[in-house]
Amino acid sequence: MIKNQTASPFSYDVLILGSGAAGLSLALNLNPQLNVAVLSKSQLNEGSTWYAQGGIAAVLDDNDSIESHVTDTLNAGGGLCHKDAVEFTVSHSTQAIQWLIDLGVNFTRKPSSGDFHLTREGGHSQRRIIHSADATGRALHTTLIEKVEAAPNIKLYDHFIALDLISQPDPSSKKLRCTGAYVYNRNTDSVDTFAAKTVVLATGGASKVYLYSSNPDGASGDGIAMAWRAGCRVANMEFNQFHPTCLFNPKAKSFLITEAVRGEGGKLRLPNGERFMDRFHKLGELAPRDVVARAIDHEMKRLGSDCVYLDISHKTPEFIASHFPTVKQKCLSYGIDITKEAIPVVPAAHYTCGGVVVDKSGQTDLSNLYAIGETSFTGLHGANRMASNSLLECVVYAQSAANAIESSINAIAPHTAIAGWDATRVTNSDEDVVISHNWDELRRFMWDYVGIVRTQKRLERADHRIKLLKKEINEYYSNYKVGNDLIELRNLAVVAELIIRSAMRRKESRGLHYSLDYPNLAEVARDTILVPDNFASQDIIVHQN
The model's pLDDT over 240-252, given as tens digits with 9 standing for 90+, comes to 999 889 999 888 8
- Pair (220, 274) in one structural domain: no
How many degrees, rounded to 5, is the angle at CA 331 between CA 326 and CA 337?
110
Residues 6+ apart with CB under 8 A from 99: 395, 399
| End position of a domain, from candidates 305, 334, 349 | 349
- Pair (337, 357) in one structural domain: no
Q: With cut-offs at 50, 70 and 90, classify the pLDDT of residue 46.
A: confident
Paired residues of 37 in beta bridges: 15, 155
Structural domain containing residue 313 = 241-349
- Pair (473, 489) in one structural domain: yes
The secondary element (H helix, E strand) that includes residue 269 is: strand 267-269
Question: Which residue among the candidates 177, 289, 294, 506 is catalytic per the annotation?
Answer: 289
| End position of a domain, from candidates 349, 377, 400 | 349
CATH code (residue 437): 1.20.58.100
pLDDT score, position 539: 59
- Pair (100, 203) in one structural domain: yes
Inform me whether the pLDDT recorded for 7 exceeds 50: no
The model's pLDDT over 355-367, given as tens digits with 9 standing for 90+, comes to 999 999 999 999 9
What are the helix and strand counts (H, E) for the chain? 15, 20
- Pair (361, 476) in one structural domain: no
- Pair (431, 393) in one structural domain: no
Residue 458 contacts residue 449 (beta carbons within 8 Å) = yes
Residue 545 in any domain: the answer is: no
Residue 139 contacts residue 54 (beta carbons within 8 Å) = no
The model's pLDDT over 131-154, given as tens digits with 9 standing for 90+, comes to 998 889 899 999 999 999 999 999
Q: Is 262 a catalytic residue?
A: no
Q: Tell me, rounded to whole angstroms, the distance of Cα 304 from its chain centroid.
A: 31
Residue 535 in any domain: the answer is: no
- Pair (190, 265) in one structural domain: no
- Pair (200, 105) in one structural domain: yes
Amino acid in position 386? M
Number of domains in the chain: 3
Report how far apart, in Å, the C-alpha atoms of 35 and of each of 185, 395, 413, 423, 459 are: 20, 20, 16, 29, 46
Residue 88 in any domain: the answer is: yes
Inform me whether the pLDDT recorded for 203 exceeds 50: yes
Residue 241 contacts residue 290 (beta carbons within 8 Å) = yes
Residue 530 in any domain: the answer is: no
Residue 544 in any domain: the answer is: no
CATH code (residue 263): 3.90.700.10
- Pair (287, 404) in one structural domain: no
Residue 538 in any domain: the answer is: no
Per-residue pLDDT, averaged over 149-175, amounts to: 93
| End position of a domain, from candidates 318, 349, 380 | 349
How many degrees, rounded to 5, is the angle at CA 288 between CA 309 and CA 447?
65
Q: With cut-offs at 50, 70 and 90, classify the pLDDT of residue 301.
A: confident
- Pair (34, 174) in one structural domain: yes
The model's pLDDT over 450-482, given as tens digits with 9 standing for 90+, comes to 999 999 999 999 999 999 999 999 988 888 889
Q: Name the nearest CA neighbour of 134 among 114, 115, 117, 148.
A: 117
The pTM for the full model equals 0.89
- Pair (444, 375) in one structural domain: no
